[in-house]
Structure 1
């Protein structure tokens, strides 16, 4: 308060009264009178209420010098917009969010601005020339929360604002002078905050089960606190577990919040975390219209107002999909993921869906574009994926798979198992990360003639017939969905694919085979399925290595696939040798 009084006195062209200052600051006249008394007694103003040299030096020390804007994140909740533009560049009233923030910083004479970028970083490059900002590149934006981003800017936190890129303020929240560090909270109560801001800015934990003040993400760090926060960030950068948190985690010390809290009314700002939040703030934003939304509007005969409750679904291995509602119905819109164009032939997928269109246990496709892969389908309500450890459900899946195979459907394309291995090897560029890859590959290729000599029939197969693609609805009706990889193949390959995706051991693999074949699988066929497990393992191992080159990691799944290639190629070759 006293610093703000001092700042008004210094920057006023004419003498201002204490009442005028009280009105400007929105506080009582008594508080201003007390502030004048303190400033006078401590030598910051003279008897004429003019700031002294000591007062001017104090203001210099209390003046914000720079800002760090965090703009590296992918913004998963912004589907479908985030396929075209990073959320910091979304426009509200024809102005990108990040440009509004920069302009508001300039209004208070802050020109030293650092922007931490990552996802679609190239889109922010123009800001260097337009506003003379500096870009800091976060190459791990898909792996860590924004703790890592702030860590990249830790040397710039002295007298600095920290600002997320996806926030819009009605009134400039920044100031030419700041007395001490603070963190911004909204007066809105939310269940995901454990903090409440007291009358004088103290921040305390809420009682268990109570809602706290919403955390906004904006902070000011003074000289006094910068070194402490810098040290905490340095320690966080050395800990992978710490990097999985948002940067605010370092403000929690022994159950207490290390900065003062500052409150803002909910009406004075908006966080743009979703498509609907952008729509509600600016219905005419140019970013509300994109290809996916246009498809929805055209197919469902609706408009922007009719598309509600958008939420991103679990990030798939191949695609990014989002759920939404229209009227009383629910839908899923698929948007092909990173690198998908090289993996999936969308014209073949289109042909497959034409071939299965009369089967009533596949998803209801309302729209499928063979060029860009956009797919709109009805949502299966109250559904769950097959639990690969629940063999009652697995038995139903195998029964449905067997039923599908006996339909003997045909298409004009095949799934070339060995050709796909070679294709993925080309995509991943360079040698495999597995030291004995060439040896394992040689054994797997050695199974080819055994497999081809024992194929009984050649029909349309799902290829990606894993437990996640078998869906049970509320009435326990079973569906088989997602036919991207489907093509002409040996039905036994589908059995192998289910097994290796579930990461079954030998006992469960044999159990799966016996379920599909109803206890009548001959030894040759069993070993042919083992061979498919080896080939499929090598295929998906290469697929994982390619995806990893794009920054996507599938954990133990990738190693498990390579182990299938390694162990089951040995098993089949041993059997063939003995035979």
Structure 2
């Protein structure tokens, strides 16, 4: 390698990136960060830390994000430093490395979720290098070419029968200094959120001197549970995960029979993933953080039991009312309804109208006053409500509830969470309504309004939704109820999101958008004279039902 070996550089430290969720490893990563999953009895991250310490590298920085508290014990166990990346859910690992930029000198850079058999680390290094693994046949990895000295000359995403960059890297100080400059430049790019730090290396490989360190057979990156099972056979019978045990117990099988696991949705209320047992395919829904305080899973199960014979929803195979875990059959070639497509919007409106026309009765109500009161109290106790005009908006909400009592109609079973993502469009053009966790007795037009605000429709399309539901020009009473539930629904989901944000889940502009629906459609009702003779003395925030 020529003069790159002229002298050895003492390694200053190591930076380990551990912020990500590890979506391809669901359901294990629902309760354990991927880097802390055990391989042969040792968490992958701990093994790397111990290998670094054995090489004399004791200054170790770990960038954390998802389930950040799970890493705190490492401070006492190994003397590491922790850096929190608050944007771990919305930005890729370039942002994590950029947060650790002040520590980049002669530094190792590692991913927490690699398993390394024999340590490649040393107290001194002569040049920058990247661990590379050989892949036989086609691969989607970041494949490299190198010259006779071993210097990487190009990086391409995807290839065949090639070396690819996987695992730890070493940055010498000159490399680090230039790389920090480039990271700052990339952070200002419009699409910076999507970048891996390797993108910077790929784009600037001509000036960033990096050599191949072939670690084939030594460094392991597990893409899914089945790959981990192949390496650590203990996972075939015991994945150390309650959800996997739930599936095995539900079907009376060993965990090894559960295959083809991949995530479907990381939602605001629930997470879900696909799995297979032989030729049968299923979806498992896991309730999200904090939903035990918000959703009565026994009531949800009752709704599913009530509508099961009607063939209007997903096919439930197992529902555990204690945990809220639900298993349904998986449908191929389905998609969510597109609320901005007129035909999909019409199908969505007519499908929920079919449900309403059945006039199903259940004991549970969709008590929007109780829900607003509860979510408001939760958000307020968490000091999460930051709208400066909240007291004035509360006055408007009180008048909205008084209006609701004036125009209320006989209640029937409503979905309560009627969003376009909860309408599956089948290949034959039929729709199926899923996720009935907020269902209860209520005003049917509430479902139309909820659909509109979940899709963040403008007023023109909000009006179209009601027309398609009614099938004719709505009456004044129907317009009033529609705008009323757009306004109340906006406030309900704004408070819900504020509370969820206090738990650490980020919603971006969503709370503001919902809050704006409350104020804008209050104004629309004012224009129509809907509040004539109505006071604002009734208080839904007394934690009372209507």
Q: TM-score, normalised by structure 2?
A: 0.88
Task: State whether structure 2 residue 53 is matched by structure 1 residue 102.
Answer: no
Q: How many angstroms apart in 2 are the aligned matches of 1:125 and 1:206? A: 36
Q: Partner of 2:482 in structure 1?
A: 529
Q: Residue 376 of structure 1: SS of its match in structure 2?
A: strand
Identify which of 499, 502, 509 aligns with 2:452: 499
Name the count of aligned residue pairs: 526
Identify which of 70, 76, 85 aligns with 2:17: 70
Change (3 A) 1:133 1:506: closer
Quote the offset at 1:210 in angstroms. 4.8
Quote the offset at 1:241 in angstroms. 4.7
After TM superposition, the structure 1 stretch with the greater mean CA deviation from structure 2, 377-386 or 184-193, is: 184-193
After TM superposition, the structure 1 stretch with the greater mean CA deviation from structure 2, 429-438 or 449-458, is: 429-438
8 Å Cα contact 2:270/2:286 also seen in 1 = yes
**Structure 1 portions without partners, runs of 5+:** 7-38, 40-57
Quote the offset at 1:93 in angstroms. 0.9
Equivalent residue runs for 1:280-429 within 5 Å: 280-285=230-235, 288-429=239-380
Q: Partner of 1:216 in structure 2?
A: 166
Quote the offset at 1:304 in angstroms. 2.6
Quote the offset at 1:463 in angstroms. 0.7
Q: Partner of 1:513 in structure 2?
A: 466
8 Å Cα contact 2:144/2:153 also seen in 1 = yes
Equivalent residue runs for 1:41-190 within 5 Å: 58-59=7-8, 62-188=9-135, 190=139
Q: Residue 398 of structure 1: SS of its match in structure 2?
A: helix
Identify which of 227, 230, 234 aligns with 1:277: 227
Quote the offset at 1:353 in angstroms. 1.6
Change (3 A) 1:438 1:256: farther
**Cα deviation digits, residues 169-215 of structure 1 (max 9, x gap):** 23222234421111222222633526433442232336898556422
Task: State whether structure 2 residue 209 is matched by structure 1 residue 264.
Answer: no
Quote the offset at 1:514 in angstroms. 2.0
Quote the offset at 1:378 in angstroms. 0.8
Q: Partner of 1:197 in structure 2?
A: 146
Equivalent residue runs for 1:424-573 within 5 Å: 424-429=375-380, 430=383, 432-519=385-472, 521-573=474-526
Q: Residue 526 of structure 1: SS of its match in structure 2?
A: helix
Change (3 A) 1:449 1:381: same
**Structure 2 portions without partners, runs of 5+:** 533-546
Quote the offset at 1:543 in angstroms. 1.9
**Cα deviation digits, residues 345-403 of structure 1 (max 9, x gap):** 21221222222222212111111121221111111211011111222222222222122
Change (3 A) 1:431 1:83: closer
After TM superposition, the structure 1 stretch with the greater mean CA deviation from structure 2, 489-498 or 336-345, is: 336-345
Change (3 A) 1:230 1:287: farther
Change (3 A) 1:124 1:554: closer
Q: How many angstroms apart in 2 are the aligned matches of 1:566 and 1:65? A: 56
Q: How many angstroms apart in 2 are the aligned matches of 1:235 and 1:550? A: 33
Q: How many angstroms apart in 1 are the aligned matches of 2:187 and 2:462? A: 43
After TM superposition, the structure 1 stretch with the greater mean CA deviation from structure 2, 133-142 or 218-227, is: 133-142
8 Å Cα contact 1:363/1:377 also seen in 2 = yes
Quote the offset at 1:336 in angstroms. 1.2
Q: How many angstroms apart in 2 are the aligned matches of 1:158 and 1:208? A: 28
8 Å Cα contact 2:312/2:432 also seen in 1 = yes
Q: How many angstroms apart in 1 are the aligned matches of 2:69 and 2:409? A: 53
Quote the offset at 1:310 in angstroms. 1.2
Change (3 A) 1:331 1:187: same
After TM superposition, the structure 1 stretch with the greater mean CA deviation from structure 2, 482-491 or 412-421, is: 412-421
Change (3 A) 1:557 1:208: closer
Q: How many angstroms apart in 2 are the aligned matches of 1:466 and 1:541? A: 15
Q: How many angstroms apart in 2 are the aligned matches of 1:241 and 1:206? A: 20
After TM superposition, the structure 1 stretch with the greater mean CA deviation from structure 2, 386-395 or 317-326, is: 386-395
Quote the offset at 1:520 in angstroms. 5.5
Quote the offset at 1:260 in angstroms. 1.9
Q: Partner of 2:197 in structure 1?
A: 247
Q: TM-score, normalised by structure 1?
A: 0.84
Quote the offset at 1:82 in angstroms. 1.2
Change (3 A) 1:475 1:213: farther
Quote the offset at 1:263 in angstroms. 4.3
Q: How many angstroms apart in 2 are the aligned matches of 1:503 and 1:156? A: 43
After TM superposition, the structure 1 stretch with the greater mean CA deviation from structure 2, 351-360 or 281-290, is: 281-290
Quote the offset at 1:239 in angstroms. 6.6
8 Å Cα contact 1:443/1:570 also seen in 2 = no
**Cα deviation digits, residues 53-91 of structure 1 (max 9, x gap):** xxxxx44xx233422222222222221111221222211
Q: Residue 407 of structure 2: SS of its match in structure 1?
A: coil
8 Å Cα contact 1:204/1:257 also seen in 2 = no
Q: Residue 358 of structure 1: SS of its match in structure 2?
A: helix
Change (3 A) 1:578 1:227: closer
Change (3 A) 1:136 1:511: closer
**Cα deviation digits, residues 419-470 of structure 1 (max 9, x gap):** 2222222222336333333323322321223322333321111011121111
Quote the offset at 1:556 in angstroms. 4.6
8 Å Cα contact 1:195/1:213 also seen in 2 = yes
Quote the offset at 1:162 in angstroms. 0.9
8 Å Cα contact 2:142/2:158 also seen in 1 = no
Q: How many angstroms apart in 2 are the aligned matches of 1:80 and 1:390? A: 34
